[in-house]
Amino acid sequence: MDPQQLSERLTEFLQRLHNARSVQIEGLRLLTGGASRQTWSFDAVIEDADGQRRTLPLVLRSDPRPSPGLMTREVEYRLLKAAGEEGVPVPKVHAMGDDSLGMPFFLMERVEGETIPRRLLRDDIYAEARASMAAQLGAILAKIHRVPVERHGLDVLPAPPPDRAPAEAELDRYEQTYRAITPEPHPAFELAFRWLRQRLPESSRRTLVHGDYRIGNVIFGPEGARAILDWELAHIGHPMEDLGWVCVRSWRFGNDDLPVGGVGTREEFWRAYEAAGGAPVDPDRVRFWEAFGNLRWGIICIGQAKAYLDGLGRGTMPPGAQMELGSIGRRIAETEWELLKLMEKG
């Protein structure tokens, strides 16, 4: 759908939704977009029936094409609504879509701020944010893990079988993916699978897991974190999975002495997590999940490289997005190196 047609249909939808005299769409621009999933930003200038005007900064999350295997927009809307009601800083959902756009969609508020990690880690304006971000992220994550899944109807999210520990189920899932997509041997990954299976935590504890909790999926300002984004990998699993993922080396952007996203130490992050009501942190268990996170990211990198070599998105994805698939594939060696270092510690 071209921007003009999208603007017209959004105008009609919002006019009905707010019973408005008029609606004007301003500044409509595509933030991210592939063949199947898109995110648009715009301002809706709404004139109410009594003549009062207000401007709503909004974001449209839409699926122009069917996207099997990915979280539906209805579930994502429900998840964001639940997280917001439980005190997690997320963009406030505005409305679930109908058939107005001819595709699944929902609207949420646009939270102003920055998301580029290197600006957080380098720019002077974010010095205060760097000093407080690790503790903020720990406290926010505790809130995520306390979201009541059944109360909010989130038991539709992916979950491990009832008779299996989350760690074993996740490791099996990614090993199956690895075997299916890997065209060449990766001895470091083979060793990592063996190392992780020898250290599988038996805990069957289950909570809401964000699934991609890291620097890069946080909107921040000079004061620190403002909102948590990108919930499409959320699932039911072990809470320590998120604590390990945020420390994956690739999310440090060169600040390797500060493993929590390049802004803080593990201990600082763990203290804030526990103080905010998170489960007691077992360093050995989190270490398992950190190693698993690096292996998981390595397998994702293999998948991105394969997609690029197979020509996925050619002719439908923007050239830059397609090239990004290939460039991410070059990071496989980085994850192999980090896994060897983690395993060397015993």
pTM: 0.94
Query: How far is 339 from 323, CA to CA, in rounded Å?
Result: 26
For residue 149 the two structure tokens come to 């899944």
pLDDT for the residue numbered 67 = 74
* Closest by Cα among 328, 332, 325, 324 to 307: 325
pLDDT for the residue numbered 15 = 96
Query: How far is 339 from 337, CA to CA, in rounded Å?
Result: 5
Question: Do 63 and 104 meet the contact criterion of CB atoms below 8 Å apart?
Answer: yes
Q: What is the DSSP string of 169-208?
A: HHHHHHHHHHHHH--S--HHHHHHHHHHHTT-------EE
* Closest by Cα among 10, 62, 71, 59 to 35: 62
| Assigned CATH class of 24-109 | alpha beta
pLDDT for the residue numbered 183 = 79
Q: How far apart are the first and last CA of the chain?
A: 54
pLDDT, averaged in runs of 10, over the chain (346 residues)? 93 96 96 79 95 96 85 96 98 96 96 96 97 98 98 96 95 96 92 97 93 96 98 97 97 95 97 97 96 97 86 64 76 94 88
Tokens 């984004």 correspond to: 229
pLDDT for the residue numbered 32 = 80
Return the half-sphere exposure (C-beta side, CA atoms, 13 A cut-off) of residue 248: 24
In order of 37, 63, 65, 176, the CA distances from 68 in angstroms are 11, 11, 10, 19
pLDDT for the residue numbered 72 = 94
- Domain spans in the chain, listed from the N-terminal domain onward: 24-109, 117-344
pLDDT for the residue numbered 318 = 60
What single DSSP character describes residue 114? B
Question: Do 191 and 341 meet the contact criterion of CB atoms below 8 Å apart?
Answer: no
CATH of domain 117-344: 3.90.1200.10
The number of residues in the chain equals 346
Question: Do 67 and 36 meet the contact criterion of CB atoms below 8 Å apart?
Answer: yes
pLDDT for the residue numbered 287 = 96
CB atoms within 10 A of CB 37: 18
For residue 212 the two structure tokens come to 């991609």
